[in-house]
Amino acid sequence: MQPRDFAAYLFLAIAWGFSFLVLLKVVHAFGWVGAVSLRALIAGSTLAILAALLGRTLRLRPLLKPLLVIGATTVAGQLIGMSYATPRIGTAMAAIFVATIPLFSMIIGRVWGLEKITLQGLAGLLLGFVGIAMLVGFPAQPVSDVFIHGCIASLFGALSAAFGSNYASLHLRGQDPWTVTGGAFLAGGLLTLPLLWVVPVPSVPQASDWLYLMISGAVMSATTYVLYFGLVARIGATRALSVEFVVTLVAVLVGALFLDEALSLLQLAGGAVVLVGCLLVLGLLPGRKPRLPN
């Protein structure tokens, strides 16, 4: 890995790891719907502005239908799951659930004929679901309706992201990543905007709240995805996707150091089992041949 690739990899791990902390502040100020819709619109607008400055053209109209699907799943669905769940189950558990996306992606890809599940992949899937059961079944906090709803929301977000990833692989292969990413964020923001009538912004946001929202949308969504797609192009999708495991580690540390979050020993073990399962699914364990990206 070249120094610039390592720097991008490290920045993504730190930015996405700390994004859960920023997310909590944004949800507190704007509500979980506002945190989704406004963040996505800021991210999409940021990418459109950056593209214009760089002389790139976002050709959205020919890809309107698939962009709406990606916006509804990978953007809106995933962000709804994260924004609703994180205040209820904590940053560490929310991040571990995000790391399960490759598990669900492999299952959907197999159903759609995009993936072949090997014995290693099957073992990874089984380990992943055992880990999820350990996370949900043995929490450090008492099991309540709030905790259960948060876990369900996290699983919904992971499933949405996995569905959108496979849909993009099937319908948007070879398309300009700036167009796909910018269009998906704008679509996700517009699709969730009407939900503000149901879950309005709870109070008048302060200047610092808007700052956190801008950081969440412009830096931790738009800028990071530009870096991520550049990393994919240089080191490959599989190696780039492995950053999610470092993100989980950073998020767990952030939750423990800044928010005094606690995980039971069985939950920590469950998180480790989930990560090992994802490593098997992605073919990233040492000595294993990486699974080719779609």
Contact residues for 85 (Cβ-Cβ < 8 A; gap 6+): 94, 97, 150, 151, 153, 154, 157
Domain spans in the chain, listed from the N-terminal domain onward: 3-282
Mean pLDDT computed over 68-93: 92
pLDDT at residue 292, as a whole number: 43
Q: Can you tell me the distance from the alpha carbon of 29 to that of 204, in angstroms, rounded to the nearest whole number?
A: 8
pLDDT at residue 291, as a whole number: 47
Distances (CA, A) of 86 to 147, 148, 277: 10, 12, 23
Least confidently predicted of 52-56, 141-145, 156-160, 234-238: 234-238
**Band of pLDDT at residue 189, cut at 50, 70 and 90:** very high
Residues 264/140, Cβ–Cβ less than 8 Å:
yes
Average pLDDT, the chain: 85
Quickly count: other Cβ atoms within 10 Å of residue 62's Cβ: 10
Q: Please tell me which residue, 219 or 121, carries the higher pLDDT value.
A: 219
**Band of pLDDT at residue 233, cut at 50, 70 and 90:** low
Terminal Cα distance for the chain, rounded: 22
Contact residues for 84 (Cβ-Cβ < 8 A; gap 6+): 32, 149, 150, 153
Least confidently predicted of 57-71, 178-192, 229-243, 255-269: 229-243
Helix boundaries (H) for 224-264: 224-235, 237-241, 243-258
173: left (phi over 0), alpha (psi -120 to 50) or beta: beta
Distance of CA 190 to the CA centre of its chain: 19
**Band of pLDDT at residue 65, cut at 50, 70 and 90:** very high
Closest C-alpha among 64, 57, 50, 72 to residue 176: 57
In the predicted structure, residue 294 carries a pLDDT above the cut 50 = no
Would you state the structure tokens that stand for residue 76, as one six-digit string? 């809106």
In the predicted structure, residue 1 carries a pLDDT above the cut 50 = yes
Mean pLDDT computed over 145-150: 91
Distance of CA 25 to the CA centre of its chain: 18
Q: Can you tell me the distance from the alpha carbon of 185 to that of 74, in angstroms, rounded to the nearest whole number?
A: 9
Q: Can you tell me the distance from the alpha carbon of 189 to that of 287, in angstroms, rounded to the nearest whole number?
A: 42
Of the chain, the percentage scoring pLDDT greater than 90 comes to: 38
